Structure 1
Amino acid sequence: MVPYTFGRSIILNTIALLAMVLLSIGAYAQQTVVSGTVTDATTKETIPYASFMITGSSKGGRTDADGKYNITISGNYSQLTFSYVGYKTQVKTIKPGIAQVVNVQLQSEAMQMNEVVIKGGKKPPYRNKENPAVELIRKVIANKPKNRMESYDYVAYQKYERMLFSMSNLSEKFKNKKIFRNYQFLFQEQDSTKIGGKNMLPVYQQEKLSNNYFRKNPEKMKTVVVADKQVNFDERFVDNQGLSSYFDRMYQDIDIYDNNISVVSNLLLSPIADGAPGFYKFFITDTIKTHQPQLIELSFTPRNKMDLLFEGKLYVTMDGNYAVQNAYLSVNKNINLNFVRALEAKLEFEQNPDSRYHLSKSNLIVDFGISKKNGAGFTGERTVTFTDYKINQPPTDSLYLNGGTLVVVPDAKKKSEQFWAENRPEALSAANAKVYRNLDTLQRMPGFKRTMDIVTTFVAGYKSFGPFEMGPVSTFYSFNNVEGFRLRLGGRTTTDLSKRYYFETYAAYGFEDQKWKYFLSGTYSLNNKSIYAFPQNYLRASFQRDTKIPGQELQFVQEDNFLLSFKRGENNMMLYNDFYRLDYVHEFENHFSYSLGLRKWKQSPAGSLYFNNSADNVFSRINEINTSEVTLQLRYAPHEKFYQGKVYRTPLVDKYPIFNLRYTAGLKGVLGGEYSYHNFLGSIDKRFYLSQLGYADVTVEGGYNAGKLPFPLLSIHRANQTYAYQLQSYNLMNFLEFVSDHYASINIDQNFNGFFFNKIPLLRELKLREVMSFKALYGGLRDENNPAKNPEALQFVRNQNGLQITNALDNGPYMEGSVGIGNIFKVLRVDAVKRFSYLDHPNVSSWGIRARVKFDF
């Protein structure tokens, strides 16, 4: 059994929540499916990116890099028209209502029909050497610095963004289902010249207008958001701010001059990256002499069709700038991207007064689906327009000094319809203009509210009863060796009761130890916002009496989650904890936060765990350890984006580091505290993007405990005895196996995104991805805290055979590593984990298999 691991998967579930207007997809109406290959009639070579249209309509598409095409046609159309620059247009007849293959041979415009062409020998292999297309792309690469915005001292522009996310490719039969009888106003006809060809159902739309300012020296980018409009869902179901952040992360700005371009949370190598000629094939396919300056059409395809690369066309100026004047980017249908059925990006550039070019418009469309075949799915479209471009006109210095890098004007979300009508670069279509009103109407319908409530219960684990919600569902039942069969029931208040006061509680009972556990908290919001919304600013008082496994630290999942009940090895050592806490949390818009906490903590051993003061006398055991402590925690996560779920805030991992610093002081003699100590903990988390080699998540951490302390108050290192692979824990370390009063650690998790598997025939068809990890922990104990050198110290735990199971790291670092396969069935990662040190400890495994559920694109 593998616990459900959150991460980006919670975002996917939230999108699924929007899709749950309906829970099943029906059969499709009768359609015409046409596929085939377009080739040169003389050379028999395929023609990539040839255009085709449904005769009598405005719908059509392009062939892929192999000259292949596929289109699904609704309606009684009987002809397709094929065209390509330099070739004669050809019309093909098709039979409506059936699937068919129609291959097309285009004749060259310059071809003499009575001429006989004899061609011998094999087609020469593609080479970079003496290839004019490669020579041209090298000139484009060499001229990148002067064609980027960063080449100017100052740049200012206005930016308009529109994001539309829809259920797409829906059949007429789907649309006319009984469940949609009252929702017909939601549907739109989908434009097949983009992606699709059937009905679409918009579920989200956002528009944003901002003024942007760039300064080269010292480098600074400032964005002032003047207007922001989006579909707002009921906060009980959806985190609107988090949803917006998620789409921003998925659909980032496309800068063709960057070496890597972020698309759907993956980095694809730009066709004009410094190393592009080593990964792409380039072809000069046309010369456009009617444009001034003259343009060269440069087509490109990946050398390996499954790598994270684009295919498409660039239009390069031949005026000495070698700038990109236009770009069309798509991906091969075999690319190792999950759930992405099609991707298309178009970039347009305008000329500056100095004859260089700036990006004036970009349009990115991504079609998502469970399978690559036609069927219902999701389509996201982001359009960005850049206007009022100003070069080297310095603004006042105060612009960069006030308000940080991102400023949102106070009334940005309150702009009138007249303001938007006057300031949009392009008017919305009549259908898209209705999206806000349609979805607002939808949310007021009782049937939709019931559906959202059901889905929220299933996905987030809470059942809403208006001012109170019950959950999390995953904790209602669990079991362990100390408590046996455990039942838990709890819930919390919502903003329907109050936006100032929040209460949370649960009660649990273990049938083996026959003890009640419970929790109660009261929280006061100081900024009159939900305490689960960013930025948080609240004061909380709480009491908790419950069990805990020493050294088990979990992310994005509750400790008493049912699936975590399945563990390996001995698992009969726990603590009974009583926590009295008072916490103050304050977050700022720049993602710096601090928290202050006062805690009174009583911990008592449970199961086979014991606290023994003497190495010789078993009767010197103590029943409890009491501490009182005050904690200051600082956190800085620049540019962080996240989704706020019902239980956890899930970060959308990006390239920016996250810094944590925590100081805790033990207060002897205060509220019954028995120890005086000072604990320091610091960590840095960062993702390193390695272009075609994927990415590496790196965590560096260190801690120091000052004071003479019993081992339960030292650093008990994070262990994992479940069968799930946990990123932040040591997966072959036993609970309570190692403690330290000073330590340093490094954790590296490398995902290669299929870079090697993509090049192995047959295996690459599975679209698997390679993963590796390495974790090292170096630490130790001062003599005063080491019972082996100080008999007065609290003794380490031994098992029933008298073997010591708790240890200091006195024989070098603890190390483990893993190699694994990710993206199994698109959701599963399986690692073979190897432990390299301290193999002589009792009940340890030198290796093991661990699995992790994770949704990736």
Structure 2
Amino acid sequence: MFLKRSVFFVLLTLCTAGLVRAQETVVKGKITDVNTGDPIPFVNVIYDGTTIGTTTDFDGNFTIKTATPGDTIVASYIGYKPKKKAVAKGGVQTVNLQLEEDATSLQEVVINAGENPAYAILREVVRNKSKNDKRKLTAYEYDTYTKIEIDVDNISEKLRQKKVMKKISQVLDSVERIAGDDGKPILPLFISESVSKLYYRDDPSLRRENILKTKINGVGVEDGSVVTQFIGSSFQEYNFYQNWLTIVTKEFVSPIADGWRLYYEYDLTDSVYIGEDYCYRLDFFPRSPQELAFTGTIWITKNEHALRQIDASVGRAANLNFIEKIRIQQELAPTPLGAWIPIKNRVLIDVGEVTNNSAGMLAKFYTSNKNIVVNKPHELKFYERPIVMAEDSRLYEDEVYWDTLRHEPLSETEKNVYKMIDTLQNIPVVKTYTDIIKVFIDGYYDVGKVDIGPYLGLVAWNDIEGVRVQGGFRTNIDFSKKWVYAGQLGYGFGDARVKYMASVQTILSRQRWTTLTFRARSDLRRLGVEEDDLEDNPLFLVASRWGYFRRGYYSDEYKVTFQRELFKGFTQKLMLKYWTFEPTFDFGYFDDPDVSVAFNQNFQATEVISETRFARDELFIQNDNERVSLGTTKWPIITMRYTRGFSGLWGSDFSYDKLRLSVAKRIKTGPLGVALVTIQGEYIFDTLPYPLLVLHLGNQSPLYSAVTYNLMNYGEFVSDHYASLQYRQYLEGFLLNRIPLIQKLRWRLLGTANVIMGGLRKSNQELINTSTTDEELRPGGFVDRRPYVELGYGVENIFRFLRVDFVHRVSYLDNKDARKFGVLFTAQFQL
């Protein structure tokens, strides 16, 4: 009897358990953003009126299993409007939800008597930074997968009626599905994937990324070599343990910065397990909405006080131009040595419409890291090239192969993006507009193996040449990966003279960027405008061709340049240059200042120049047959140039020695924004005509220029030795963000200082024949060892494009025609 009862009890238990399992309800799905179609991690999904629920993972997925379900689930998250959806009881079902942003959903933080409990947690986070920050590691490396998508959004009905948009309407009709059933129209322009191996070592801080495979599909993207370098994980990495993060050229303060209490308010809202880590959830928002600071949520581990997850956004209230939103989401994991490294990152940059009739743009970045190895640094030589592309990185393997490379498979939406971009590329009007945009950005028009341009120099007018026309060309990478030929031909109808430039360059090595260049040139030039030093200011050089051409001279120049990067950050350049000087203005110099009879106007010079440049952490990308600098992160750029002139060589008239040293540095100054500092000095050892000395570049136009002394007259100061300081302080929204009404204008303050101290030795002054020298150009130089000083302050971002500088001249106020004060204007495009 007992045995029968036991068997009956076991059978009853098994049947009951089976019945319970049969009645279990499983609801799974994905939560996405209604505007972008992106998944939203960390969303609370629960049965309405209960505590039964879960939180979405980093990819927006969720699963709820329960035997006692309700009939409605609700999804809620900070910054979004909650959304409910009915579900059936029993069985397995898929429920996807799209959430809409709620600009007014930020909750108020009410602080009761006593300290905010979030503060104690933040203090521990800062105290444990040295243990948890990945920068404590001597080295780390990992495999990384990166995905980038760029879309056009906010396509209004008015914009749809434009002729161009109508011609691609057949594509737009299917675009509705990209953001989901409830989403807004999104037009994809670009999608890319890459698989890389990233290496980092400390002391010295060096980084290398080996890009192994890339897949690129985009409107207007052809070769893809530049894009391939940009889509690696190196450009999508953000470390919130740093006090300040550089995003789209701006400095944002981290919510776990050392000075967190100065910038943020916090609310301890929950505690929850994330995996095996028990975490505190803290919501945060900036004390001033206009500050370059974040709003969002962080999850801090209880034991290590480490950052486990973060969801941080910058909204339209911040003092940024054209940016509607920036959002960064991260999930971090610990390494065996305690430091935490991001294993998943998602970045969204929402660019707003410039005008009411234009569309916006979405840039979306995703990275996944795995197979992390720590504290196994490679030799320094290994890091010499920060970005290395495998030779077969651009080979198009099929989807089956790429499925083995991806850390997770593409979604159906992403697969649809690839198909739509293929369709867009084949629309003729899209190709036409793509070509126009390329010409606008690059300055040249691609006609196959040759580029025609640059278009900026096609026409000019000045008082010497009259109307000047010019055309030119250069070969591109389709012509040769080793040889680059370029030429320009111009003619001035006023002086009836032909001008030309011809050059040939051979790229001897791409690994250690090594080039040999020959150039011949005959042209009209301005004294004091060294075009080789102003290559990064093409607009200034073009503008110098217009108007009243002060101190112009004709010059024939022949130059040979050899350049090689000897090791990372260290570049050596050698130049041999011959040039002639034929002035168009009153000028003369004595052969012998003791015999004031014979004087000359023209001369010839032959120079050998050695230039050494050291920029320890400078990052370069290779744009076809060019190498483009992206600047430095931490270290200054140091340049030293020695020039030796040889008398008698190819008819040269003078022997001389010149030595110049410059140091340029971008300095992060915390709440005060960013400073740009350039210190430069030069010494000329010999007695020479002043065109061979240093003619400091003045500015008598109403336009402000960072490369000139803006209240110095043309030719007012000439020196044979000097030291200078140029300082620019960009204060962003500091102070103005805190003034009611003014803060709505989004103006930004800035400060400038130009200081130069130099001199002109008596021997060089006596060489000048003042009877034949234009009064305006008679160089008196610096006297009494007094520096020339001009100080300025200004406001930028007026109407988002205009900058106004107010500049005061502090010294040499008694000089003839000296301007003591100037109001100068600049049109600029900046974020």
TM-score (norm 1): 0.76
Structure 1 counterpart of 2:269, from 277, 280, 285 = 285
* Aligned counterpart, 1:634: 612
CA distance in 2 between partners of 1:454 and 1:446 (Å): 13
Kept in 1: contact 2:487–2:503 (CA 8 A) = no
Aligned: 1:708 with 2:687: yes
Per-residue CA distance 1:595-646 (angstroms, 9 max, x = gap): 3222211102213444466889997442301111112222233332469699
Tell me if the contact between 1:260 and 1:267 (Cα under 8 Å) persists in the aligned partners: yes
Question: Hey, what does 1:549 align to over in structure 2?
Answer: 527
Whole-angstrom distance in 2 between the partners of 1:226 and 1:645: 17
Q: Structure 2 counterpart of 1:270, which letter? A: S
> Contact (CA 8 Å) 1:259, 1:269: kept in 2 or not?
yes
Q: Choose from 280, 283, 288 the match for 1:304.
A: 288
Q: Residue 22 of structure 1 aligns with which residue? A: none
Is residue 2:552 matched to residue 1:574?
A: yes
- The corresponding residue for 1:722 is 701
Q: Which has the higher contact order (CA 8 A, sep 6+)?
A: 1
- 770-779 or 557-566, larger mean C-alpha shift: 557-566
Q: 1:151 to 1:723 in 2, by over 3 A?
A: same
Between the aligned residues of both structures, percent identity stands at: 27
1:849 partnered with 2:830: no
Give the drift of 1:323. Answer: 1.6
| CA RMSD after TM alignment | 4.4
Question: Residues 206 and 228 of structure 1 are in contact (CA less than 8 Å); yes or no, is this contact kept in structure 2?
Answer: no
Checking the alignment, whether the CA contact within 8 Å between 1:188 and 1:431 is kept in structure 2 is: no
1:179 aligns with 2:167: yes
Q: 1:837: how far off?
A: 1.4
**CA deviation profile, 1:674-724 (whole Å, cap 9, x unmatched):** 111111122121100122211001111111212221111112222223332
The residue type paired with residue 668 of structure 1 is S
- How far apart are 1:781 and its partner, in Å? 2.7
Shift of 1:182: 7.4
Superposed counterparts of 1:5-16, under 5 Å: none
User: Counterpart of 1:366 in 2: which secondary structure?
Assistant: strand
Residue matched to 1:23 = none
Q: 1:678–1:357: structure 2 CA closer, same or farther, 3 Å change rule?
A: closer
Contact 1:572 1:609 in 2 (8 A): no
Partner of 1:783: 762
1:660 aligns with 2:643: no
**Within 2, Cα distance between the matches of 1:515 and 1:88?**
71
Of 304, 322, 337 in structure 1, the residue corresponding to residue 305 of structure 2 is 322
- Note if contact 2:717-2:782 (Cα within 8 Å) is conserved in structure 1: yes
Residue 208 (str. 1) matches residue 216 (str. 2)? no
Question: Structure 1 pair 839/653, CA: closer, same or farther in 2 (3 Å)?
Answer: farther
What's 2:154 paired with?
169
CA distance in 2 between counterparts of 1:589 and 1:241 reads: 23
Match of 1:223 in 2: 208
Matched to 2:364, the amino acid is E
Corresponding residue SS for 1:629: strand
8 A contact 2:477–2:624 mirrored in 1: no
- After superposition, the C-alpha distances for 1:505-537 in whole angstroms (9 at most, x for unaligned) are 33434444x2414123130423498xxx99462
Residue number among 109, 126, 130 corresponding to 1:145 in the alignment: 130
Alignment partners' CA distance in 2, 1:427 and 1:209:
13
**Does residue 402 of the first structure (1) align with residue 382 of the second (2)?**
yes
Aligned positions of 1:831-846 closer than 5 A: 831-846=805-820
CA–CA separation in structure 2 for the residues paired with 1:829 and 1:492: 35
- 2:658 corresponds in structure 1 to 679
* Counterpart residue type for residue 295 of structure 1: C
1:238 and 1:621, CA in 2 relative to 1: closer, same or farther beyond 3 A?
Answer: farther
Paired residue type of 2:763? E
Match of 1:115 in 2: none
1:456-512 deviations in whole A, cap 9, x for unaligned? 334443344444443333223323333344333433444455555544333434444
Q: Is the Cα–Cα contact under 8 Å of residues 717 and 781 in structure 2 kept in the other structure?
A: yes
**Does 1:253 pair with 2:234?**
no
Flag structure 2 segments of 5+ consecutive residues without an equivalent.
1-33, 36-41, 49-54, 56-71, 87-99
Deviations 1:747-797 (A, max 9, x none): 11110111111111101101111111111111123333232xxxxx23468
In structure 2, relative to structure 1, the CA distance for the partners of 1:805 and 1:276 (3 Å cut) is same
Aligned to 1:736: 715
- CA distance 1:362–1:470, change in 2 (3 Å): closer
Determine if contact 2:81/2:101 at 8 Å carries over to the other structure: no
Whether the aligned pair in 1 keeps the contact of 2:191 and 2:218 (CA below 8 Å) is no
Q: Once structures 1 and 2 are overlaid, which stretch shifts more, 258-267 or 413-422?
A: 413-422
- TM-score, length-normalised on structure 2? 0.78
Which residue of structure 1 aligns with residue 255 of structure 2?
271
- 1:660-680 residue CA offsets vs partner (Å, 9 max, x unmatched): 222211111110011111111
Q: Kindly tell me: are residues 377 and 84 of structure 1, through their superposed partners in 2, closer, same or farther at Cα, counting changes over 3 Å?
A: closer
Q: CA deviation at 1:551?
A: 4.4
Q: What do residues 224-274 of structure 1 show as CA deviations (whole Å, max 9, x unaligned)? A: 415141537899x88955556667799541212111122222121111100
8 Å contact kept, 2:219–2:421:
no
Consecutive unaligned residues of structure 1, counting only runs of 5 or more, are: 1-32, 35-48, 56-61, 63-78, 94-99, 109-122, 788-792
CA distance in 2, matches of 1:82, 1:831: 51
Alignment partners' CA distance in 2, 1:447 and 1:406:
39
Equivalent pair of 1:663/1:679 in contact (CA under 8 Å): yes
Question: 1:457, 1:199 → 2: CA distance?
Answer: 29
Task: Write the distance in 2 (CA, Å) between the matches of 1:101 and 1:310.
Answer: 16
Query: Radius of gyration: which is bigger?
Result: 2
* Pair 1:294-2:294 in alignment: no
- Amino acid aligned to 2:184: K
CA deviation after TM superposition for structure 1 residue 564, in Å: 4.4
Q: 1:433 to 1:402 in 2, by over 3 A?
A: same
**What secondary structure, in the 3-state scheme, does the structure 1 residue paired with 2:584 have?**
strand
User: 1-side partners of 2:660 and 2:492: how far apart?
Assistant: 34
- The count of aligned residue pairs is 747
8 Å CA contact retained: 2:167, 2:429? no
The separation in 2 between residues aligned to 1:345 and 1:855, in whole angstroms, is: 25
**Separation in 1, partners of 2:771, 2:265:** 63
Q: Distance in 1 between matches of 2:800 and 2:758?
A: 38
8 Å contact kept, 2:663–2:679: yes
Match of 2:23 in 1: none
